[in-house]
Amino acid sequence: MQTFRIGKILGLVCAVGLLSSMAFGATIAGKVTGSDGTPFRAAFVQARNSKTRVTVIVLTDSNGRYRVENLPAGDYQVRARAIGFRSDPKSGIVLSADQNASFDWTLQKQMVHWDEIPIIQGIDLFPVGPGKDKFAHCGSSCHGFERFINVRRDENGWREVLKDQMSTRIGGSVVYSQIKNEQDVNELAAYASRIFGTGPGALPDSPASLPGYVDWTKQFTDDALKIVYVMYEMPPGRMTWDANPDKDGNIWCPYFGTVNGVGRLNPDTGDLKEYLWESQQPRVGTRSARLTRDGVSAWVVEEGGTLVKVDVKSGKQTKYKGPGKTMNTLREDPNGILWVSGSPFSYRFDPRTGVYTEVKDAPNTYGANLDNAGNIWFDEVGGEGRIFKVDYKTGKVTTWTPPPQPGSRRRFQVDANGIGWLAQYDRGQIVRLDTKTGVFKEYPLPGEQPSPYPIGIDANNQVWYASGIMDTVGRLDPATGKIVEYPPPAVGNGMRELNNDPKGRMWFASPGNNTVGYMYLAK
């Protein structure tokens, strides 16, 4: 086990569900303008604690004003930024508890870089040609193309990246689906070197130089500018897959990157205790983690189909290889039985006996969640996109089939009123299921390729989602159908789950940015 201190947040912050914030701590406020003196709308202002490396991020309103609240006493670096604009950071800002500080900013225009723009915009600007679809797919899932285009490479260089570096970082599931033989490798390498190569005809260093470029940040509504993010940096190589709160408010972080293991983050003290596997080779890609109800053990899913029991005190690990090809998401029912989505089936696992039972009536599932009664819900990743409910007491499986749609479904959740919500990833919509009547209702999402992935339900039964391709976070009001979309804290966010902790804060991980965090709405 290893322990890192990566952040410290003092005081209580009301969460997304409460749609407000309470100021317990220091505050930094001010105004951001452009070089011409006019208010700069939708600029990010971020305050990073120099000791703990926690960053609080807000956006300026239509008058260019911002307010960063709930900052613990400490030494801060503060900066304002926007796509294509920069300001010099202000360092050495020492804040005491409950102090109010004021800083104004003037943003100077700079070159727009490829790693600043949303994934969908990059895909739109890429030229048509053999290999584009494969390249776009490889760069739109776990981390985004922004993470590997900063170095210009010739075709041989790109071939090595595709064979080695990318398959290591993504675990192969995305890249290998596009690379089935040497011909695929050559096609991808040729296209990548064409657009981000060293020879003539490569794309310019700035996407703003191309026809069709627009500043997407300025398109968000005034309501969208109320979002606040509190971000925790993770140690290198973790590529945290999701953020799973336990009953005590600690956050369990499975590592999907080059480090095999799981971390436990205490948001209040900022301590990160790591439980690393004895062997770091081969890479196993952990992708779901849960503390048991008794708090004695944590269970972690390896994507290749293995459950790992971690003793919280000693760090001892015991592995249980499952009968399937893959496993995805783990949940524990009120009786202490584990349920895991996966392929070719979902699985029931009894920790007392170490025995797996295949749930054959719930095949090829991705998401797994509990309702308030303790029943388990799975969503079918392909096929008919069915929804499965497993009665945890009897094992009975009930099935619902949404209206016929092509493509993948993600992260079904049931709200406090017994209404189910599903992300129709390829269809670009949220689907509502009345679990009593079986009636479905569809909510199309805005944007060119919405691709909702995680679903989160806040304390007011508002439905949250995130799109990795559009690089947005969204909220659906079921009562009115109104949808508000928010800028993410960074592009290439790749959020996989949205989960509430005991304080109601909605947590997420950004694998491509190697961070975890939570979000809420300011007044």
Q: What are phi and psi of 191, to 5 degrees?
A: -70, -45
User: Residue 234: pLDDT above 50?
Assistant: yes
- Based on the number of CB atoms within 10 Å of its own CB, is 324 exposed (0-12), middle (13-18) or buried (19 or more)? buried
Task: List, in sequence order, the alpha helices (H) in 175-264.
Answer: 175-178, 182-195
- The CA distance from 407 to 382, in Å, is 6
- What digits encode the pLDDT tens for the residues 367-417? 999 999 999 999 998 888 899 999 999 999 999 998 877 667 889 999 999
Domain ranges for the chain, please list them. Answer: 4-10+19-110, 114-209, 275-495
Instruction: Say what the pLDDT of residue 314 is.
Output: 96
Mean pLDDT of 13-21: 34
- The CA distance from 245 to 300, in Å, is 14
Q: Any idea what DSSP says for residue 82? A: B
| Stretch (H or E) spanning 358 | strand 355-363
Token digits for 349?
Answer: 């696992």
- What digits encode the pLDDT tens for the residues 35-63? 999 999 999 999 999 888 899 999 999 99
Burial 339-364 (b: 16+ CB within 10 A, else e): bbbbbebbbbbebeeeebebbebbbb
Instruction: Say if CB 239 and CB 285 are below 8 A apart.
Output: no
Q: List the single range of 199-203, 205-209, 248-252, 313-317 with lowest mean pLDDT.
A: 199-203
**Would you call the peptide bond into 118 cis, given omega within 30 degrees of 0 as the criterion?**
no
User: At 150, is the pLDDT very low, low, confident or very high (cuts 50, 70, 90)?
Assistant: confident
Q: What are phi and psi of 521, to 5 degrees?
A: -105, 130
- The CA distance from 225 to 204, in Å, is 31
170's CB contacts (< 8 A; 6+ apart) are 138, 141, 142, 143
| Stretch (H or E) spanning 155 | helix 155-160
Closest CA to 223 of 465, 486, 459: 486
Closest CA to 120 of 221, 212, 5: 212
Q: What are phi and psi of 26, to 5 degrees?
A: -80, 160
User: Residue 146: pLDDT above 80?
Assistant: no
Could you count the other beta carbons within 10 Å of the beta carbon of residue 187?
Answer: 19
Distance separating the N- and C-terminal Cα atoms of the chain: 41
Closest CA to 335 of 388, 363, 294: 294
| Fold held by 275-495 | Methylamine Dehydrogenase; Chain H (2.130.10)
Domain 4-10+19-110, CATH among 1.10.3720.10, 3.40.190.10, 2.60.130.10, 1.10.230.10:
2.60.130.10
Sheet hosting strand 365-370, strand order edge to edge: 365-370, 376-380, 387-390, 397-400
Closest CA to 220 of 60, 383, 403, 409: 60
- What digits encode the pLDDT tens for the residues 206-225? 999 999 898 777 689 999 99
- Scan for tokens 């060293």, then name that residue: 198
Identify residue 410 by its one-letter amino acid code. Answer: R
Quick check: do 4-10+19-110 and 275-495 share a fold?
no
Strand partners, 507: 499, 518
CA atoms within 13 A on the CB side of 475: 24
- Scan for tokens 């596997």, then name that residue: 277
Instruction: Say if CB 98 and CB 73 are below 8 A apart.
Output: no
Global pTM reads 0.90
Q: What are phi and psi of 120, to 5 degrees?
A: -60, -35
Mean pLDDT of 108-126: 91
